[in-house]
C-alpha cells in the first residue's frame, strides 16, 4: 500500500513538470505593427526645446537663469503630460488593480 501512494505521488509530481516542457516548444514569433503615432507639431517643438535645455552648459548660467530654466522645464513637462500622449496610473490605482486581479484569479 505504501508503494501505491509513493507511485501516485511521483506520478502527480511528474504531471506538474510536463506542462513546462510542452510550453518550451518554439512557436512562431508574433509580429506587431510598431508604427509610431502621429505627433503634433506643438509636441515636437516642446520636445526639441527640452533637448536644447539638456544640451545647454548650465554652469555658465546665473542662479536666476537656472531657476527660469527649471521653471520652463516643469511647464513643458506638465503640458506634455496634459497633451494626452499616454495613460498614467497612480500607485494607488496599480495596487487596487493588483488586488482585484489576485482576488478574481
pLDDT tens profile 18-55: 655 555 556 666 666 655 667 778 888 988 999 999 99
- What pLDDT does residue 49 have? 92
* Inter-residue contact 72 to 56 (CB < 8 Å): no
The percentage of residues in the chain with a pLDDT greater than 90, rounded to a whole number, is 23
More confident call, 19 vs 13: 13
More confident call, 68 vs 12: 68
Amino acid at each position: 500500500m505504501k508503494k501505491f501512494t509513493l507511485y501516485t505521488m511521483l506520478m502527480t509530481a511528474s504531471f506538474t513538470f510536463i506542462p513546462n516542457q510542452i510550453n518550451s516548444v518554439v512557436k512562431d514569433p508574433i509580429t506587431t505593427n510598431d508604427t509610431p503615432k502621429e505627433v503634433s507639431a506643438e509636441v515636437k517643438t516642446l520636445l526639441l526645446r527640452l533637448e536644447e535645455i539638456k544640451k545647454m552648459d548650465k554652469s555658465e548660467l546665473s542662479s536666476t537663469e537656472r531657476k527660469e530654466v527649471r521653471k520652463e522645464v516643469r511647464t513643458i513637462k506638465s503640458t506634455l503630460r496634459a497633451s494626452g500622449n499616454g495613460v498614467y496610473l497612480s500607485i494607488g490605482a496599480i495596487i487596487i488593480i493588483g488586488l482585484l486581479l489576485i482576488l478574481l484569479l
